[in-house]
Amino acid sequence: DQQVKQNSPSLSVQEGRISILNCDYTNSMFDYFLWYKKYPAEGPTFLISISSIKDKNEDGRFTVFLNKSAKHLSLHIVPSQPGDSAVYFCAASQIQGAQKLVFGQGTRLTINP
């Protein structure tokens, strides 16, 4: 039972353009959502998060949008840079209780010069 899904295994974007990564979830109890970035041979690193009381959170080039009715979130990266090439994981959790993160399968983003 995949509670968090990233349906695009890979995405290729030209440098300077916008990258949009998508994520869907099924569990309506999730109230906190995160994006992690992972380079080869490194652990995932936190990028940006959003709680369910908001529909948008912005941090520099990164913006996360949450659509609770559609159970959908997206990560926008503008402008995309070569260093953004990595695997991006969407994760969800509940604020109450243990900090159990439920991850999607990941999307490999490649930024082309």
Given the rule CB under 8 A, which residues bind other proteins?
4, 6, 32, 36, 41-46, 49, 51, 89, 91, 93, 95-106
**Hey, what amino acid is at 102?**
V
Shortest reach from residue 60's CB to other proteins, in Å: 17
Shortest reach from residue 19's CB to other proteins, in Å: 19
- Give DSSP secondary structure letters for 42-100: S--EEEEEEETT-SEEEETTEEEEEETTTTEEEEEESS--GGG-EEEEEEEE-SSSS--
- The closest of 77, 16, 27, 14 to 48, measured between CA atoms, is 77
Q: Do the Cβ atoms of 106 and 86 come closer than 8 Å?
A: no
Of 77 and 91, which has the nearer Cβ to other proteins? 91
Shortest reach from residue 34's CB to other proteins, in Å: 8
Of 41 and 113, which has the nearer Cβ to other proteins? 41
Of 17 and 46, which has the nearer Cβ to other proteins? 46
Of 31 and 79, which has the nearer Cβ to other proteins? 31
